Amino acid sequence: MTDPLKVLAISSGGGHWIQLLRLRPAFEGCSVTYATVRKGYRADIGDADFRVIRDANRWHKFNLLRSALGIFWLLVRIRPDVVITTGAAPGYFALRFGKWLGARVVWVDSVANAQELSLSGRKAGAIADLWLTQWPHLAAAQGPLFFGSVL
């Protein structure tokens, strides 16, 4: 019997987090760590492993750096097989670092981006092993792909 796959499901708060929660059945049979930016979200995931990371956006460089370092450290400790994120900046960092550490990484662009992919989402396209949009009209043959939305 092999150990279950380790999945890190990570996002910033608000809509990103709620969308990540709606993907939970996909993690069935895996050992999942959830990471997000507010400790109040712990109640959403029951007994699963839960970590709090610093939030950041690209307008605050210092916070961005601190957030990135914290996420790097989290990746090093968990060593997930798969990293999956619904954004935003913290999720992008997790994909970058996850990739360096040999994980397979998934970007699910937020359903909020109905007109164009988010900036992080576009950048994630270069590194994601699975790169998804939630709007069929944004899908393209070379990615992002569309399979459905969280709605």
Partner 1 sequence: MGQFHISPPATIFVTVGSDIPFDRLIKAVDRWAHDKHRHDIFAQIGTGGWKPQFVSFATLLDPPEFNERLAASQVVVGHAGMGTILSALQNSKPILVMPRRGYLGETRNDHQMATARCLLEGGKVHVAFDEDELYRRLDLLQELEPKDRITPFAAPELVRALHDFIHHPAAHEL
Query: Per CB under 8 A, does 99 bind partner 1?
Result: no
138 touching partner 1, by CB under 8 A: no
Using CB under 8 A as the binding rule, whether residue 132 contacts partner 1 is answered as: yes
- Smallest CA-to-CA distance from 95 within 126, 118, 70 is with 126
C-alpha torsion sign, points 90, 65, 55, 115: negative
Closer of 66 and 112 to partner 1 (Cβ): 112
Q: Does 5 bind partner 1 (CB under 8 A)?
A: yes
The owner of tokens 């981006």 is 113
Q: And the tokens for 62?
A: 């210092």
| Binding region for partner 1 (CB under 8 A) out of 17-25, 46-54, 63-71, 93-101 | 17-25
Per the CB < 8 A criterion, the answer to whether 34 and 45 are in contact is yes
Residues 102-121 that bind partner 1 (CB under 8 A): 104, 106, 108, 110-115, 118
Residue 28 backbone dihedrals phi, psi, to 5 degrees: -55, 135
Of 28-36, 62-70, 71-79, 91-99, the segment contacting partner 1 by CB under 8 A is 28-36
**Residues 22, 50: contact at Cβ < 8 Å?**
no
**71: nearest Cα among 126, 28, 33, 119:** 33
Q: Which residues bind partner 1 (CB under 8 A)?
A: 5, 7, 13-19, 22-30, 38, 40-41, 43-44, 82, 84, 104, 106, 108, 110-115, 118, 129-130, 132, 134-135, 145, 147-151
